[in-house]
Amino acid sequence: MRAKITGAGMYVPERCVPNEELLERFECSEEWIIQRSGIRTRHWVTTETPADLAEFASRAALERSNRSASEIDCIILATLSPQAEFPGTSFFLQRQLGLEDTPCFDLRAQCSGFIFSLSVAKGFIESGQFERILVVGCELQSRGLDMTPEGRDVAVLFGDGAGAVIVEASSDKDNERGLLEIRLHAQGKFAEKLWTEAPGCALNPRISQELVEEKRHYPKMMGRMVFRHAVRRMPEVLLETLSAAGLEQDDVDLFLFHQANLRINEYVAESMEIPEDKIRNNVQIYGNCSAASLPMLLAEAQADGTLKHGALVSMTAFGAGFSWASALLRW
């Protein structure tokens, strides 16, 4: 039995924030933002919650799959910006979808979280434990950024949004479709190179006025180090996954990279000599939506017809942890 994705959906808040809106606040130029990231706009919430974003994306994915929420056997939600400290955002999503006792849980692997979640879903499907799983990447990051010149290196990058897919058991007649291979990696020795320290139970107290004044509750990133590792690890794991499936790079019809930074993706594509017409990016308009970026790309590609039946799709991500992963699927 093989797991396959039957539909994808996405949602971003209505409020679009162009670079021009941030220039005075961050004491920078639009050229500075675009040169470093390629980002021109991002979407930030007004009143929505993380569960709201996840719900809208999930309902879009269900519609694409011609399924109802009641047909879902399990929910897996990847996020680094949860609704509450606990329980996980998936529980709030389950409630908003009108489900009674459907199992659900959150998975934290940051920007690689969607692929990690797909791997778990794939295992559940192939083992026969579940037949139909809702996998969501959801991020509401705008409320957790340092909106001062001191925090601009990180704050200009992130957007809010959600993407969702329905993963189902394939029938014998279309067994060629589905999730072919997934490879996951992590390296915890770099955990503090891209992280948000507080609130955290390694601290005593876990949050305090002093921690807030020191801005330790905001994300911190060693950007150059992240760039160096990302452009090395993403090609490695992409090729590892292709090799495991017995396929070549030229066999791939569409390459989807986590939308952290356009410059990272351009570097990877150039180093691997991937044709431009085989790559899709949307970081320019949505910013870095972390765990949501890959399912958002899938949803766009399905909606506009880019994904044809039988297309071979490669998805690759790198994120905090450090973590990196790649998935190969036949649409």
Strand-pairing partners, residue 169, are 3
**pLDDT tens digits, residue range 240-269?**
999 999 999 999 999 999 999 999 999 999
Beta carbons within 8 Å of 204's beta carbon, 6+ residues apart: none
Q: What is the CATH number of domain 178-330?
A: 3.40.47.10
Backbone angles phi, psi at 250, to 5 degrees: -65, -15
What is the pLDDT, as a whole number, of residue 176?
Answer: 79
Question: Where are the domain boundaries for CATH 3.40.47.10 in the chain?
Answer: 3-174, 178-330
Q: How many CB atoms lie within 10 A of CB 313?
A: 22
Task: Tell me which amino acid residue 206 is.
Answer: R
Grouping H, G, I as helix, E, B as strand and the rest as coil, residue 177 is: coil
* Bridging pattern class, strands 132-139 and 74-78: parallel
Count Cα neighbours of 111 within 13 Å in the Cβ-side half-sphere.
Answer: 27
Task: Tell me which amino acid residue 287 is.
Answer: G
Q: Is the pLDDT of residue 234 over 70?
A: yes
The rounded percent of the chain whose pLDDT value lies above 70 is 99
With tokens 């908003």, the residue in question is 96
Q: Across all residues in the chain, what is the average pLDDT?
A: 97
Distance (Å, rounded) from C-alpha 110 to C-alpha 15?
Answer: 24
Distance (Å, rounded) from C-alpha 275 to C-alpha 250?
Answer: 10
Distance (Å, rounded) from C-alpha 56 to C-alpha 161?
Answer: 10
pTM for the complete prediction?
Answer: 0.97
Grouping H, G, I as helix, E, B as strand and the rest as coil, residue 178 is: strand
What is the pLDDT, as a whole number, of residue 209?
Answer: 97
Kindly indicate the confidence band of residue 174, based on its pLDDT and cuts at 50, 70 and 90. Answer: low
Grouping H, G, I as helix, E, B as strand and the rest as coil, residue 269 is: helix
**pLDDT tens digits, residue range 115-146?**
999 999 999 999 999 999 999 999 999 999 99
What is the pLDDT, as a whole number, of residue 171?
Answer: 73
Helical segments of the chain, H only: 23-26, 30-37, 50-64, 89-96, 113-127, 152-155, 209-213, 223-244, 262-272, 283-286, 293-303
Q: Is the pLDDT of residue 56 over 60?
A: yes
The domain defined by 3-174 folds into Peroxisomal Thiolase; Chain A, domain 1 (3.40.47)
CB 215 within 8 A of CB 149: no
CB 277 within 8 A of CB 269: no
Task: Tell me which amino acid residue 205 is.
Answer: P
The CA dihedral of 69, 75, 81, 83, to the nearest 10 degrees, is 60
Q: Is the pLDDT of residue 78 over 90?
A: yes
Which of the residues are catalytic? 111, 258, 288
CB 12 within 8 A of CB 138: no
Kindly indicate the confidence band of residue 172, based on its pLDDT and cuts at 50, 70 and 90. Answer: low
Average the pLDDT over each of 20-34, 156-170, 174-188 and give the range with the smallest value: 174-188
- State how far the alpha carbon of 76 is from the alpha carbons of 88, 107, 111, 269, 281, in Å: 10, 7, 15, 30, 25
Kindly indicate the confidence band of residue 300, based on its pLDDT and cuts at 50, 70 and 90. Answer: very high
87: which DSSP letter?
S
